[in-house]
Amino acid sequence: MPAEEMAKLGQSQKPLLAYGDGIYVVDSEGRRLIDGPGGMWCTQIGYNRREIADALAEQALRLSYNSPWYTINSPASELAERVAKETPGDLNRVFFTTGGSTAVDTALRFSEYYNNVLGRPEKKQIIVRREGYHGSTSLTAACSGRAGNWPNFDIASERITFISSPRFRPAKGLSEAEFLDELVQEFEQTIERIGPEKVAVFLAEPLLASGGVIIPPKGYHARMKEVCERHDIIYVSDEVVTGFGRCGEWFASEAVFGVVPDIITFAKGVTSGYVPLGGLAISEQLLARVSGANAKGGFFTNGYTYSGHPVSCAAAIANMDVIEKDGILDHVRELAPYFAERLIELKTLPCVVDVRASGLVGCVECMLDPDADEPTALDKRLGSLIDKHCFELGLIVRPLGNMCVMSPPLVITREEVDTMVDILRQGIVLATEDMRTSG
């Protein structure tokens, strides 16, 4: 299993899920649980949707596979058009992959190709943020700034430089505007230090999801993009989590965070998790520099056996249809303030040190000592006890250490938000009591 604790290899006691329905999953013992994390931030339209099952079955019978190397299929071309219609700016060219990691990996490989064809092979450096997450291929893992994932892997890469996470901490004495200035200045200084002629890519999630739903200061992305433009650096917006409705828009980059990037990567919500699929949309302007008369005889030899898989693409089209037909983007926009308000109420609990939310994704951060700078091993234990109690009470939490991330299926109702937050509150109270009684 991913993130396997090797000392316990083969003894995993994880819950066996039997089926799902709407925002609920049911385990093999019949326990009905709200899917708090939305699987892994991906079950947008919820479980048990007949529309997706029918689309899968029909496409599997019509054409279950085609080689993307020498043929095309209708679902992939239709989906590419629909995705391109929803992306901002001139991000009109779409390439499909097998998931989020391969989407980001492809974006990075494209930047290599692009700079080599442009005759500047020294322009290869990638700048990323601490606390970011971009996947589990060698290169995307090396771009991920969550130090907990590093031990025993050869992650260090001479091509990658980390800059600060845009997590604003009011306690540090800076205003949000001053903090933003500091972040932009650090970015510019980092580029100057490396040499602008060597920096190829800035890779960033609109909000840092796995880092704990870190929402950058207002205007951050537009300012970073302006710096990128000045130095001819490709801005890759990793929308693997924020895309397909999570923030109330098809894509959050421009509509929520005010930036038109050069490349957007997506996965997860594109099929609501029914089948694997990922992809990226690339700017026409970028492609024009290395295609047609400018191609210099090159082939972009990057691809997967399952690029544009017809069954996955058919599921994604059906998923987009459901999102449109059920007005899910409007629903998320309407419900988001209430979702945030209910989570923020948890701040009345002594161990809840911060609550952050955007769209239908939020994080409740718990620490036993609210004045401590960093979470301790005890805080991580608190996180697992919250998980255990919530599970018994009917909610999956899957905390990231001490951070309880809520990213439920987007079809969740107001009443279900109430139930979810009430259970989370109870779970936090019970876990805190456990910690106190166990000393």
Ligand X SMILES: Cc1ncc(COP(=O)(O)O)c(C=O)c1O
Q: Which is nearer to ligand X, 244 or 351 (CB)?
A: 244
For ligand X, give the closer residue by CB, 73 or 210: 210
Q: Which residue lies nearer to ligand X by CB, 205 or 262?
A: 205
Measured from the CB of residue 291, what is the shortest distance to ligand X in angstroms? 26
**Beta-ladder partners of 400:** 403
Please report how close the Cβ of residue 268 comes to ligand X at its closest, in angstroms: 6
- Least distance to ligand X, CB of residue 210, Å: 5
Interacting residue ranges for ligand X, rule: CB under 6 A: 40, 99-101, 104, 133-136, 205, 209-210, 238, 240-241, 267, 278
Cβ atoms of residues 353 and 376 within 8 Å: no
- Closest by CA position to 202, among listed 175, 222, 178: 222
| CB count in 10 Å sphere of residue 202 | 27
CB of 387 to ligand X, least distance (A): 18
Cα separation, 8 vs 286, in Å, equals 48
Min CB(395)–ligand X separation in Å: 20
SS3 174: coil
Residue 267 Cβ, how far from ligand X at the closest point, in Å?
A: 5
CB-CB neighbours of 232 under 10 Å: 14
DSSP string, 43-70: -TT-B--HHHHHHHHHHHHH-S---TTT
What is residue 377's three-state secondary structure? Answer: helix
Nearer to ligand X, 268 or 331 (CB): 268
To the nearest whole angstrom, how small is the minimum distance from the Cβ of residue 302 to ligand X? 16
Ranked by CB distance to ligand X, the top (closest) residue is: 100
253 touches 358 (CB < 8 A): no
The residue among 66 and 136 lying less far from ligand X, judged by its C-beta, is: 136
Which own/partner pairs from 63-66 qualify as long-range (CB within 8 Å, at least 24 positions apart)?
63/310, 64/310, 64/311, 65/309, 65/310, 65/311, 66/310
| Comparison of 385 and 400: residue with beta carbon closer to ligand X | 400
Place of tokens 């091993």: 377
CB nearer to ligand X: pick between 399 and 427: 399
Termini Cα distance of the chain: 33
